[in-house]
Amino acid sequence: MSGSRAIFITGAGAGIGAATARLFARNGWLVGASDVDGAALEALQRELGARCVSVHPADVRDRVALEVAVCDFVARAGGRLDAVFANAGVLFMGPDETITPQQKALLVDVNVKGVIHTIDAAFPFLRQTPDAHVVAMASTSAEYGSPQHAVYSATKFFVRGLTEALNIEYREHGIQVCAVYVAYVQTGMVFDAKVKPATIDRLGVKITPQRVAATVWKAVHGKRVHWRVGLDARLVNSAVRLLGSGVAPVFARLSRR
């Protein structure tokens, strides 16, 4: 698909990443799909066709491997990279003392370092492509620290700060940077979690991966810095803006069984 617009997506093997790959591929984009699960990528390529999807197995924690993956994809795309979607992430929920040091380290390695590695690997190619976009997955837990998501919440605050700052810095390069904020999404990461906070029961898991993908599509064609998906995300943002730290008792009640 030489001449097609090109997007590189991490965490493309399932959930939001796979839904986003499908949406872009079906709208004529060349998709670079990356994930640690090579079998899932191959299945996605069989579904959508090798003409639309190029697979690049890589672990976002491995900077060099990700650089190679992005370079290989850009070569396939004829030297252009219109967008990168830093989507790969992990989630562990529960009281902070129950999250192991290994789980906390993994949260930082994937959700923080992985996003840095993804954007850094993509930047040289985004800079040479007119009207390029960076989109990263944040969370409503980046609006105010979320109980039973403490370290996860902190990693998403990092994504918020990074995308806000880079959107200012990258203006001189013609690159728009933004993040997507959403509450619980209907993915294995939520449904298969060993510990499910009370907020899941109270708020529900309402948002589909396809709805998030549709927001990523808008983000890649838009100029906003913050993209919120669903009523819950907008309500949390409004509550924090209105109440500030006074929102903490509300969060406490929502997380209490």
Mean pLDDT, contiguous 10-residue spans, the chain (257 residues)? 86 97 97 98 97 97 98 97 98 95 98 98 98 97 92 98 98 98 86 76 84 98 96 89 88 74
| pLDDT (0 to 100) of residue 205 | 80
pLDDT of residue 98: 95
pTM of the shown model? 0.94
DSSP secondary structure letters along the chain: -TTS-EEEEESTTSHHHHHHHHHHHHTT-EEEEE-S-HHHHHHHHHHH-TTTEEE----TT-HHHHHHHHHHHHHHTTS---EEEE-------S-GGGS-HHHHHHHHIIIIIHHHHHHHHHHHHHHTSTTEEEEEE--GGGTSPPTT-HHHHHHHHHHHHHHHHHHHHGGGGTEEEEEEEES-BSSHHHHT-SS--HHHHHH---B-HHHHHHHHHHHHT---SEEEEHHHHHHHHHHHHHHGGGGHHHHHHHT--
Active site residues: 152
pLDDT of residue 250: 78
pLDDT number for residue 2:
56
At residue 193, the pLDDT reads 75
